[in-house]
Amino acid sequence: MDKTIKIKSNDMPMIIFRLFLVFAFLSAFIAAFNPARLSELINSSMSLFTYALSYSTIANNFIRALNQGWIEQTPLTMLYIGSLVCALSLALVAASFCLSLGNIKMKRLGVKFSFGAALLGLSGTLVLRIAYSLFQNSPNPGRIEPVFPVGIWVYAVMFTVIAAFSILLYIKLPKAAADEEYSLEPKYRLFLMILPFLVLVVLFAYLPLAGWRYAFFDYTPGHPLTWDNFVGFKWFQFLFNNPAQRAQIVRVLTNTFALSGIGLATSWLPMVFAIFLSELRSTKFKRTVQTLTTIPNYISWVLVYGIAFAIFSTEGFFNWFLVNTGIVEHGTNHLLSGSNMWLKMWAWGTWKGLGWGAIIYIASISSIDQQLYEAAMVDGAGRFKRMWHITVPGLLPTFFVLLLLGISNVLSNGLDQYLVFENHANRSTIEVLDLYIYNLGLTGNGNIPLSTLIGMLKSAISVILLFSANRLSKFVRGETIV
């Protein structure tokens, strides 16, 4: 027991060091810690990573200032160089974290990387400090409004701590044997394989949750977010107490639940398609069908609407055929009709996603034990009986998992499809919750707080639906996915 405690105690500095490296890397994507926001002209919602992407990202904020001679090119160049150097240092920080998971030899190399990253990062903050001085000494500093960002101090302290930890760990770590090779435990190899995807999830799924704060402010686009605009639960009360707003929400939810309900009711179609596709004897024909049915998934909804317009517009192919065969006298723009929009949207979505949705079922079919089919054939079971008694039961676990995930996403119909098909004639029947949030927040008057609030409630309800469906699955099937 003493030995175990000793090992944990020895590992604690390395664990703290790793956590600090993770924080340092994530700081590149947090706008509040951006050390490069040296002027009020720079968008406060941009992170260091955005600034380091290209020089034009920074220069676009100062086009008028450069044209008017309020600022010279040199401060902007220094600002970009400092941002790029800090971003490169954080890339070395990420490499150092990966190396710290290995054996002693890799750990020592990782500590060297982190020390180099710290020196490079301190150099970057120094360049940014020089750039700030140039902003202050510009021909017209009142026009560009220089700001000393708190991120410079954050980064300076952060890189100083990393440098100190690097020196401490380099002294503390034992020397590697001369014949020792760089190695990494299998569990860490697997972890590093999924690490990029975990980072993407954090950046695009969890960091944006900071935007939920707009639901508690009376925010106007283009103006800074300050505590003077804090209104508490004002928008919550407006959402539930305003009759007109409640009527809009009821209409939008009706469309959302109807379209999601149709999708859930027909969610078995990809499974059936996969079963019949797997029964084709000609491999060449099977691959051709699978390819042709999968390709629509890679076509953007903008191009899908272009196809629909070419077929169903007033002068499209469908009307041309009807007019030339004498069935009708004049063409009709079917895209401007609001009738049967739920079925139309379901049809387009099914055409686009049927082949793609069948892929996972085809993979599941290939994993079914072939001896079951051979035994069924010996017992005299025909093709349809084998499909019904072997293939379908083998696919049901996959189907139920996807069904539960679909239930949890019943409020997330997507945006692209309905945005491109929306017009004044069908808006009342096509506007789903995602599209309503988009229209409410980014078009018209741009009510960011109310759209943020509705998005928050949507996420909360989706989580509740997921756990409810999971509990129902445990009660009915005795199995869960969470």
Characterise 337 by phi-psi region: left (phi > 0), alpha (psi -120 to 50), beta (else). beta
Note whether 373 and 386 are within 8 A (CB): yes
- Only one residue has tokens 């999601």, namely 260
How far is it, in rounded angstroms, from Cα 259 to Cα 15? 48
Residue 395 confidence (pLDDT): 92
For residue 355, the SS3 value is helix
Note whether 31 and 128 are within 8 A (CB): no
Over range 459-478, report the average pLDDT: 82
Going by the DSSP 8-state scheme, the letter that residue 214 receives in this structure is G
How far is it, in rounded angstroms, from Cα 332 to Cα 313? 7
Residue 328 confidence (pLDDT): 76
**To the nearest whole percent, how much of the chain has pLDDT over 90?**
35
- Only one residue has tokens 């994507």, namely 29
Residue 157 confidence (pLDDT): 93
Helices then strands, each counted (H, E), the chain: 23, 0
Lowest mean pLDDT among 33-42, 137-146, 468-477: 468-477
Over range 383-411, report the average pLDDT: 89
What are the start-end ranges of the H helices in 100-149? 104-136, 141-144
Note whether 30 and 47 are within 8 A (CB): yes
Under the banding of pLDDT at 50, 70 and 90, the label for residue 482 is: low
Domain boundaries, the chain: 3-184, 237-477
Under the banding of pLDDT at 50, 70 and 90, the label for residue 333 is: confident
CATH 1.10.3720.10, applies to 237-477 = yes
- Does 222 score more than 80 pLDDT? no
Residue 445 confidence (pLDDT): 66
**Helix orientation angle between 301-312 and 341-366, rounded to the nearest 10 degrees:** 130
Mention every residue, 6+ apart, whose C-beta is less than 8 A from residue 182. Answer: 102, 103, 105, 106, 109
Instruction: For 365-468, list the strands marked E by DSSP.
Output: none
Counting every residue written for the chain, the total comes to 482
pTM of the model: 0.73
pLDDT tens per residue, range 141-194: 888 888 898 899 999 999 999 999 999 999 988 887 877 888 888 888 888 888
Lowest mean pLDDT among 221-235, 251-265, 411-425: 221-235
Q: How far is CA 179 from CA 175, 176, 182, in A?
A: 12, 8, 10
Note whether 183 and 107 are within 8 A (CB): no
Over range 93-111, report the average pLDDT: 90
pLDDT tens per residue, range 344-372: 999 999 999 999 999 999 999 988 888 99
DSSP string for residues in 55-83: HHHHHGGGHHHHHHTSS-HHHHHHHHHHH
| Cα-to-chain-centroid distance, residue 220 | 25
Q: Copy the structure tokens of residue 259.
A: 């379209």
